[in-house]
Amino acid sequence: MPSFREMQEAAAQAKQGVSVSTSCRSCDAPILFAFSRKGRRMPVNVEPSPLGNIALDMTGTVAAADVLTGDSLVRARDQDRKLYLSHFVSCPDAEAHRKNGVHPESGDELFPPAGD
């Protein structure tokens, strides 16, 4: 399995970057898409949060998300690292996103493809 850094570099080379100016098509909140350790796109709120558990590592326009738990989360908070929340935590239509990614009323795609 590739390392976190290798996945980040591969994403950057493939130009699968994220747009920091993206917004949720459901609630219009500013979000960015980061790549998880499993290589999946994850919507993340743009602003850091004191309740956050996601550390972001930015390389150019590519963000890699590391979901922290346990001791690593405690250490990051003790070091006053900026931590972020998954947009699934704050989006009022989060359940719709998890099901099929389509807004329940309009039928619009909720999370735009990377680069939109």
What's the sign of the alpha-carbon dihedral 7, 37, 67, 20? positive
> Given this model, what pLDDT does residue 71 score?
96
Which helix (H) or strand (E) element contains residue 5? Answer: helix 4-13
Say whether pLDDT at 116 is over 50.
no
**Contact between 26 and 16 (Cβ < 8 Å):** no
Cα 58 from chain centroid?
11
Structure tokens at 50: 């004191």
Say whether pLDDT at 4 is over 80.
no
> Given this model, what pLDDT does residue 6 score?
60
Mean pLDDT score of the chain: 76
pTM for this model (two decimals): 0.67
